[in-house]
Structures are given as structure tokens and as C-alpha cells.
Structure 1
Amino acid sequence: MSRIKLVFNIVVVACILVLGIFVIVKKQNESCSGIRIAIDYSGNKKIVDEQEVLSLLENNKIKVVGIKMKELQLDEIQQLLSNHPYVKECKLSRSGSQLSINLQLRKLLIQLFPQNGNSCFIDWDGNKLPFSSKVNEKLIIANGHIPEFNSGTDQINKQPQLIQDLHTIAKTIVEDTVCQSLYAQLYVNENNEIELIHKEGKTNVLLGNCSNIDEKFFKIKEFNLSVLPTIGEHQYKMIDVRFQNRIIAKK
């Protein structure tokens, strides 16, 4: 009786294996019936949309629909989409008889206007991105005496210290609700020092650079929340927070 049970179990397992192999082979030989595209973006309007993805595939002569699933050029599709400057991550998977494309787009932080160059964007992770008219976000604006990017790399950590400081300061502003409500522009003056320009034309801030940045932003918030309501919003044109334990107000 136990021998019969053993033989039965072996037959059942064998059938399951054969069925599984049959299903896999059948799926591999199925033709792709369509493309599902999911785009993850935290902004107002997608910088890369579904139509652009389809156009990229078509322009690079990569056919998907009607091609056997096992013959899809997944590596080429992965590389093509991952190389798009606004794509942070690309994941491909098979969903039934369809190809699923999941894209995560970069989070933009700054629109940069170099002194002698073209406008560009910098994302949250510190990557320089080419200008795109599709961008419709309220970003931190950085302008003034800003140097050109070093050629050969788009990474912030390999750029002049001033550009790295702009990135750090912009992140600090966006992460703080008080500062975000007050400032949306960074200006680099002729001394290569960074100023925060008030949104409503009130008191600007001479920040200098990123040294002691936590203390500087503490003083900025204290001045705006505690001092200005007492003395009046238009008493001073600028405050200087470059020096430790001091705020210098300038009319």
C-alpha cells in the first residue's frame, strides 16, 4: 500500500513538473500583445510620459508588440530607458502576454542659470539634467555669478564647491517649511557669496557658503519669526548671517 502511495506521489510530482514546463514554454512562445507603462513621479506634470516611451522604442527600431516573449530585446530596452536623463530607475517585467515597464523619474530641485551657459536642472540626488520645456515645477532658482559645470561629468560632487553649496542650501530650504515659504531664489554675488532672495521682496539674507549651515538657518528663522514682527518687515534690506553668534542687519 505504501509502495502504491509512493508511486502515486511520484506520478503527481512528475505531472506537475511537466505541466509547469509546458506552461513556461507556452508563455515563452506567446507573442507580446501590448505594453503596460507605469511612471512614478512626485511632481505636477510627468516630464517623461507614456507616449515618449513608445516613441523612444519606435525611433530606436525596437519592436515589442507581436514579438515572441522570449525574443524581446529586454537588455536593449532597459539600457535605452535607463539612459534617459530624467529616468532614475527602470524595471521591466512580463505580465501575462504583456511587457510591463515601470519608470521612476528624478526629483527636480534647482533650475540653474550659469553666468555664461545654458539653463539646466539639478535633481535631488545631485545630477545635472538638460533643460526641458516639459518641466512645470516650482523649483529653487539659482542665478548670478555661477561658474560653468566641469566637462565630462554631471555629478555635483565633482563640480566647483560653489555649485555643491547651492545644492546643499536648496535642499535645506525645501526640507524646512518656514524657509520654503520665504525663499525660492539663490543669488551668487560678485564675491562668489550666496544670497537668499525673499519671495516678497522683503529682507534678503547674505548666507556666504555652507559652513555652519545649521546655525545660519536657525538665525534666519529666528529673525523672520521673532525679530521682524517687532521691528517691521521693511526695516532692513538684508541680514548678514555669515559670522558665528551674530546677525548683522543692513538698511
Structure 2
Amino acid sequence: MKNFNWTNIRLFLIVGVAVFLYSFSGIRNEGRKIKQAEVVFVDNENFITKKDVNKLLKQNFDTVTGIKKVQLDLNKVEKSIDTNPMVDKAEVYATIDGKLTAIVVQKKPVARIFSGSKSYYLDYKGNEMPLSESETARVPLVSGSIDRTDKKRLSELLNYIYDDDFLKKNITGLAVMPWGDIMMDIRGYDFEVVFGKPINIDRKFKNYKAFLQDAIKDTLTENYKTINLKFTQQVVGTKK
């Protein structure tokens, strides 16, 4: 008679029990009903409201609460939220205690575009974003011959301004000239900034900050009509 290997038998039984308990808990978990829906915004913007997201959560069901977790297609729900033009991305998951949670990342508007009779935001990824009924973004206004400039470079310029606290607070508007140059309106000053084409962005803004620092120190800012940044080796100020 062969001797039984009780160690292997015990190991087999333990694994079997674990698989059974896991399967049983999984079945019970899928059978649980959703008791609560929660919307969490990653940022502090309010271009879309929690009410709007809840509507998207419910669009495939009469109500979210009360349905079984097994009935939820989380990928489908995420895609439904992603269709909202204010949403950058969403993640939806259900917890063991019956809570359906939607984590929502909203788009970041970096400018408001005025093109003919059309007005919209341009987001950080360079895509169009409609105006919101819930909130107005404090971003530079862009107008003029927008079709005369490189859209990718314009987006890079606007992102640079957005990422720089000083520029973000002080540049209020950009006008695209018919020949493609960009003029900028500055908060608190009478002069305009001639930026030129949206190239050499970092170099031009470093020149501008250095020039402005010296002008403020010498109290000369009121003497200038325009500040020209087109030439990366120097800043040309035109006096009134």
C-alpha cells in the first residue's frame, strides 16, 4: 500500500477551499446592488457639474441605484462620460459596499478663440472645447486672422502662457495679424507686445521679462507704445 503524502493533500484542500471562497464571494459581489453614486472631480474647475455627470451615469438605466453590479458595463459607462466635450477622461468603478464612483478629469482651457461668429475654448491638448454654462475660464482672448498662423505652434504658445504664473496673470489677449504676427495685450500697461510668429517662445519671453524688469526699475514702462520681441537677440521698445 502506498503512503499518502498528507502535505500535498492538505495543500490541495487549502487551495480548493480558497478557490471556492473566492468564487463564492465573487458571485455574491456581482449580485450586490448599487446603493449610491458618487462623482469626484480631480481639479477645481466646474465646466461640467456633478448633475451633468450623474445624467450620463444614468443614461443607460432608469436609475443607477438599485441595479445589480453584474449589470454594469463599466467600460461603457466610462465611454459615455468621455463623450461630454468638457471631459478629458473618466474612470468608473464599483466598490464592494455598493458605491459607484466616477473620477472625472476635466479639460483645461488655455484660451478663448473668437473666429468670425464662432467662439470656443482651446484646451491644453490643442482641441476645441465649447463654452460652459457653469463657469467662465479666465484665459486670454484670441482673435484676428487665426487661420493665418500655425495651429500647433499657436497651441504651444498658449500652453507656455498657461504654465507660467506671471504670463498667465498678465497676458489678457492675443491678436493674429493678417501676415501671421501675434500682438499681445498686457494687463496694467498701455503698451502692446509685438511677439511675431509663434516661434522661439522661451527665448522671447525671457527677453521680455528681463526688459520689463529693467523698465519697471527705471519707471519707464509708461513711456513705451510697443515692445517688439520678434528679434531674439534684442528687445526693441518704441516710445510714445
Instruction: Give yes or no for the alignment of 1:68 onto 2:56.
Output: no
Question: May I ask how many residue pairs the two structures share in their alignment?
Answer: 236
Sequence identity (%): 19
Could you tell me whether the CA contact under 8 Å between 1:86 and 1:106 is conserved in 2? yes
Q: Which amino acid in the other structure matches residue 134 of structure 2?
A: K
- State the alpha-carbon separation in 2 of the partners of residues 2 and 39 from structure 1: 59
- State the alpha-carbon separation in 1 of the partners of residues 86 and 43 from structure 2: 10
- State the alpha-carbon separation in 1 of the partners of residues 162 and 149 from structure 2: 20
Deviation at 1:202, TM superposition (A): 2.6
Distance 1:118 1:62, change over 3 A: farther
Provide TM-score, normalisation by structure 1: 0.83
Q: Which amino acid in the other structure matches residue 104 of structure 1?
A: V
- State the alpha-carbon separation in 2 of the partners of residues 64 and 163 from structure 1: 42
1:107 paired residue number: 108
Deviation at 1:176, TM superposition (A): 2.8
Q: Which amino acid in the other structure matches residue 203 of structure 1?
A: F
Could you tell me whether the CA contact under 8 Å between 2:121 and 2:130 is conserved in 1? yes
1:1-251 to structure 2, matched below 5 A, reads: 3-43=5-45, 46-59=46-59, 61=61, 63-96=63-96, 97-114=98-115, 116-147=116-147, 161-230=149-218, 232-250=220-238, 251=240
RMSD: 2.3
Could you tell me whether the CA contact under 8 Å between 2:182 and 2:198 is conserved in 1? no
Deviation at 1:61, TM superposition (A): 4.5
1:150 paired residue number: none
Unpaired segments of 5 or more residues in structure 2? none
SS of structure 1 residue aligned to 2:222:
coil
- State the alpha-carbon separation in 2 of the partners of residues 69 and 181 from structure 1: 47
Unpaired segments of 5 or more residues in structure 1? 148-159
Could you tell me whether the CA contact under 8 Å between 2:111 and 2:141 is conserved in 1? yes
SS of structure 2 residue aligned to 1:170:
helix
Q: Which amino acid in the other structure matches residue 106 of structure 2?
A: L
SS of structure 1 residue aligned to 2:75:
helix
Q: Which amino acid in the other structure matches residue 113 of structure 2?
A: L
Could you tell me whether the CA contact under 8 Å between 2:120 and 2:128 is conserved in 1? yes
Q: Deviations over 1:40-79 (max 9, x none)?
A: 1243xx2222211112334554642222211113333122
SS of structure 2 residue aligned to 1:113:
strand
- State the alpha-carbon separation in 1 of the partners of residues 220 and 144 from structure 2: 29
Could you tell me whether the CA contact under 8 Å between 2:48 and 2:132 is conserved in 1? no
Could you tell me whether the CA contact under 8 Å between 1:196 and 1:205 is conserved in 2? yes
Q: Which amino acid in the other structure matches residue 170 of structure 1?
A: L
Deviation at 1:99, TM superposition (A): 2.0
Provide TM-score, normalisation by structure 2: 0.87
